[in-house]
Structure formats: C-alpha cells, structure tokens
C-alpha cells in the first residue's frame, strides 16, 4: 500500500465569485521511504499541492489517501492531530524564534505532542546531533549562519519523529555551499539514518536532483514524473 495516493485531485480558489483553478486532476502515488521532489515554476501549483499534502489545506475535489485513509473526510481537529504527530515541515524562511536558544527552538513542537516533558531535552539533542549541531545547543538562533538556521529547522522537523518531512524551497535563502549541505542532510535522513519519506518543493533543477524522483508541474498539471538518472549525492562526512 502506498503511503500517499492522490486521485483526480483538484483545487479551486473562490474570491468574490471568481473561481481560480490551481490544480487540475492530479494523479500520483508516493511510497514510504521515497525522496520525491515536486518541481515547477512560480504559479505551477507546487506550493498549493504541498499545503494539501501537508494537511494545511483541503482539495476542492478528488481523493487524498494517507496510509489508506481518505483524509478529505476527516475533521479539522483530526487533521491537526495527524499533522502534529506524523508530519514535519522545513520552510525557506526558517521560522525560528530569534532570541531563543537553538535547543528551545527544536523543543517547541514537543509541547504540542504526546511526548512526556521529561523526554523533551533528549529528543531535541538527538535531533540536533542528527544535523551536526550538538555544539550549538545554547546559541541563540540569531547568532547562527543561514545554513545553520536551516539545519536547526530540520532538527525541529525531526524532533517528533514524523513519517514525512516536507521541505518547501529549503535552499532558497542559502548560498550554494550551505544549500548543498542542507540537501545532503535531507538525503542522509532519507537514505541512511531514519528512512524518512522526504517531499521537497523547489523550482531549481540542481536542488531537485538530490531526490530520487521528480514530479514536474506546469499550470496545475503534472507534465512529468520520472526517476532521477544522475542523482546528486551528499558529500561523505557531511553530517558529523
């Protein structure tokens, strides 16, 4: 059974009786443990699709099955529970609290989880070790470089041990070296460490080629879905 199954998915937005169609009958599946990039230019519908897959928005029509469960039939409270316990998010703008320590930033999702408080520090330290930032626990997030901030954001996404990590343009605010490090960490989390399913949203071919498969969108339709032939690999020793 597929982890994610999308059938004839549509998304429309209505503003003052004007209907704008964004997604037009998408069909695809994602297996547990895959690293998939959703790629397309601005306006292609990739961010809208990510919001639906991440349970942040609902489709107008069609079916979204997560582990065989049709999530379009669930209440908002049930969707929030699934999102908090099964999904992790990494955004282009990091979304860290600026005058708060790295450790406290990473612990934040645990306050909304079922993880006992006595385990919060341990979980956060393990997540930071996974992204090579054990030496930055007590730093304030505004004392970090852009690449380090994104690695903290990845640790924060990891701390609840989610099934799926969504990464929305995670290298958009980084230089090429830091961007490569961040993509290397995501790749290692997928292939070597925890077998997390990674869903990456990007407009950059270079970034998408760290994934093993690319779904290409244009004008709200899938125009390509193929394995990456010359997949970029994380540098050896990238995560200490």
Tens digits of pLDDT across the chain (240 residues) = 799 999 999 999 998 889 999 999 999 999 999 999 999 999 999 999 999 999 999 999 999 999 999 998 899 999 999 998 899 999 888 889 988 999 999 999 998 888 889 999 999 999 999 999 999 999 999 899 999 999 999 999 999 999 999 999 999 888 888 898 899 999 988 886 557 899 999 999 989 999 999 999 999 999 999 999 988 886 533 443
Cβ neighbours of 148 (radius 10 Å): 21
137 class by beta-carbon count within 10 Å (0-12 exposed, 13-18 middle, 19+ buried): middle
What pLDDT score does 46 carry?
95
Structure tokens at 129: 């070790």
CA–CA separation, 167 vs 29, rounded Å? 18
Give residue for tokens 């006992």.
116
User: Distance (Å, rounded) from C-alpha 94 to C-alpha 155?
Assistant: 11
How far apart are the C-alpha atoms of 202 and 122, rounded to whole Å? Answer: 32
What is the C-alpha to C-alpha distance for residues 179 and 2, in angstroms, rounded to an integer? 30
Say which residue the tokens 């065989």 belong to. Answer: 68
Q: Could you report how far apart the first and last alpha carbons of the chain are, in Å?
A: 35
Alpha-carbon torsion 162, 163, 168, 171, what sign? positive
Rg over alpha carbons for the chain, rounded to the nearest Å, is: 18
DSSP 218: E
Q: Name the 3-class secondary structure at 219.
A: coil
Q: Supply the DSSP symbol for 58.
A: -
């Amino acid at each position: 059974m597929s982890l994610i199954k999308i059938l004839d998915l549509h998304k429309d937005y209505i503003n003052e009786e004007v209907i704008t169609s964004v997604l037009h009958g998408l069909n695809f599946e994602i297996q547990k443990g895959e690293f998939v990039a959703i790629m397309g230019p601005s306006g292609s519908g990739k961010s809208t699709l990510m919001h639906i897959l991440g349970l942040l928005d609902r489709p107008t029509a069609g079916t979204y099955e997560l582990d065989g469960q049709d999530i379009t039939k669930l209440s908002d409270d049930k969707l929030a529970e699934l999102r908090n316990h099964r999904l992790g998010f990494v955004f282009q703008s990091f979304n860290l609290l600026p005058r708060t320590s790295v450790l406290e930033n990473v612990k934040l999702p645990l306050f909304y989880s079922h993880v006992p408080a006595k385990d919060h520090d341990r979980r956060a330290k393990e997540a930071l070790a996974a992204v090579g930032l054990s030496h930055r626990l007590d730093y304030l997030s505004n004392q970090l470089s852009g690449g380090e901030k994104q690695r903290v954001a990845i640790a924060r996404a990891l701390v609840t041990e989610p099934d799926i990590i969504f990464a929305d343009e995670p290298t958009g605010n980084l230089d090429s070296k830091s961007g490569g490090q961040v993509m290397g960490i995501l790749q290692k989390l997928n292939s070597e460490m925890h077998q997390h399913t990674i869903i990456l949203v990007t407009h950059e071919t270079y970034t998408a080629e760290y994934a093993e498969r690319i779904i290409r969108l244009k004008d709200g339709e899938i125009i390509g879905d193929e394995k990456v032939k010359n997949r970029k690999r994380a540098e050896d020793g990238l995560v200490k």
